[in-house]
Structure 1
Amino acid sequence: MSFVSIFLSKDFIAVTSDGQLTDLENLVPVKNNFRKFEQITKYQYLAVTGDILLLEKIYSLCKKKMNNFYQFYELKIIATEIKELMNNHSNEAVAHVALFGFNQMNNAEIFTIHSNSSCIEAHILVSEDWLIKMFPSDLLKLNIDNLCLEFCENMKVSEIKSPDLVLNCLKDIHHLVAKNDISVNQEFFYEIISRKKDFKEHLKSFFGKITS
């Protein structure tokens, strides 16, 4: 089923995945370098795991609805359309999806959609310092509790949440999952999405002149 982890903070977002596509009927890998996340706009991303045919439909939907690379889109609306698409294929395929990035107010946000859930989980980072999402959730039944606890402790004691620290922690968890699940390989894809620093100038480009 693959493995995706997404770390959100006020200054950056880190997303990682393995690279394996698995024939679930025969439980054999069919591809080893398939990245599970994609940049859709400058600050908004899509991550997916599950049935490859359904994933292709989800990618196509996002590319069609979010076709301006420099525009911010309401991810909640896109997530709702993805959920409708998944519901229409619920009897034939399973998928886990995350839409995430920085919104127009420069806040990190994430919307997760799962075939086995009737709701869309939404989280916008306003008061919290950071948030982590990993899926599929069934992989988390593996014995990674200690690594997750270590990850949380590292985040608490670190005054500056550095991308290197986050990636090292996520890589440890990733490799442990890969050792214990045949649908996950050791290939480690990652990307860092940085929060826009010149945000006032960015707002001007969308809303005209603003005052301080």
Structure 2
Amino acid sequence: MSFVSVIATKKFITVMSDGLAINTETGEEIDQRYKKFHRISKKQFIAFAGNSGLAEEAVRIVGYNNEERDLASIAVSIREQLIKKVPPNIASCQLILGGLEKRKFVIYSFNNDPNRELLFQEPIGDDPVYSFLSDSSNGLNLDKEINKIYPKYGFNTPTKTLKIQKELNNVVADVDPSVNKITFNLTIRK
């Protein structure tokens, strides 16, 4: 399916995705270097996993604007459109909208399942927040895995945070054949 991780602190937000794109119907590999996020403004992004057709449509709908966007409104609108367009039993699409909103880093995570709520996250104090887009990661507990990795590096710089995300991506890729170790990343600072 894919693996995308997003980590937000009060000072920066980092995004990392693997690069493997697979045809969900045939299981055939389409691309090994497929970046699963796009900027939607200078300080905001959209990231995705699952059905690439639905994800790319969401990216197209959101578009790019130089100015800061209202991520909450965009997330609600895109989620509603995805739910109306394709039921989750036909195709799954997971999305994260994130970045700087009203001088704070935020993450909005959602999918096209009407039974799952939109999740809002914002770092409080020195504690980062994180979100993952993943199929099932073959039984991995991603919270447990990231908590094993982060003491090696810490979350105090984007470089260290990206090292955590790279190592986590590799752990997932070792057990999930729909994830590869070729990664793409994005850092947004205040």
Q: TM-score, normalised by structure 2?
A: 0.89
Gaps of 5+ in 1: 196-212
C-alpha displacement of 1:128: 5.0
Residue in 2 aligned with 1:68? 65
- CA drift at 1:129: 2.7
Q: How do 1:56-135 and structure 2 match up within 5 A?
A: 56-63=56-63, 67-69=64-66, 71-88=67-84, 89-90=86-87, 92-104=90-102, 106-116=103-113, 117-135=115-133
Note the C-alpha offset of 1:143.
6.2
Correspondence for 2:55: 55
Separation in structure 2 between the aligned mates of residue 12 and residue 120 of structure 1, nearest angstrom: 22
TM-superposed deviation, 1:175: 0.8
Q: CA RMSD in A?
A: 2.0
Specify every segment of 5 or more residues in structure 2 that has no aligned partner in the other structure, as ranges: none
CA contact (8 A) 1:107 1:126 kept: no
Identity of aligned residues (%): 26
1:16 equivalent to 2:16? Answer yes
* Superposed CA offset, 1:108-138 (max 9, x none): 1010112234311012234453111112262
* Distance change >3 Å, CA 140–CA 26, structure 1 → 2: closer
Whether 1:142 and 2:137 are equivalent positions in the alignment is: no
Looking at structure 1, the residues matched to 17 and 49 of structure 2 have their Cα atoms a distance apart, in angstroms, of: 9
Could you tell me how far 1:154 is from its partner in structure 2? 4.6
Larger Rg: 1
1:169 aligns with 2:164: yes
User: How many Å separate the matches in 2 of 1:192 and 1:94?
Assistant: 27
Cα distance between partner residues in 2 of 1:137 and 1:184: 10
- Matched-pair contact (CA < 8 Å) for 2:36–2:48: yes
CA shift in 2, pair 1:179/1:166, >3 Å: same
Structure with the higher fraction of residues in strand conformation:
2
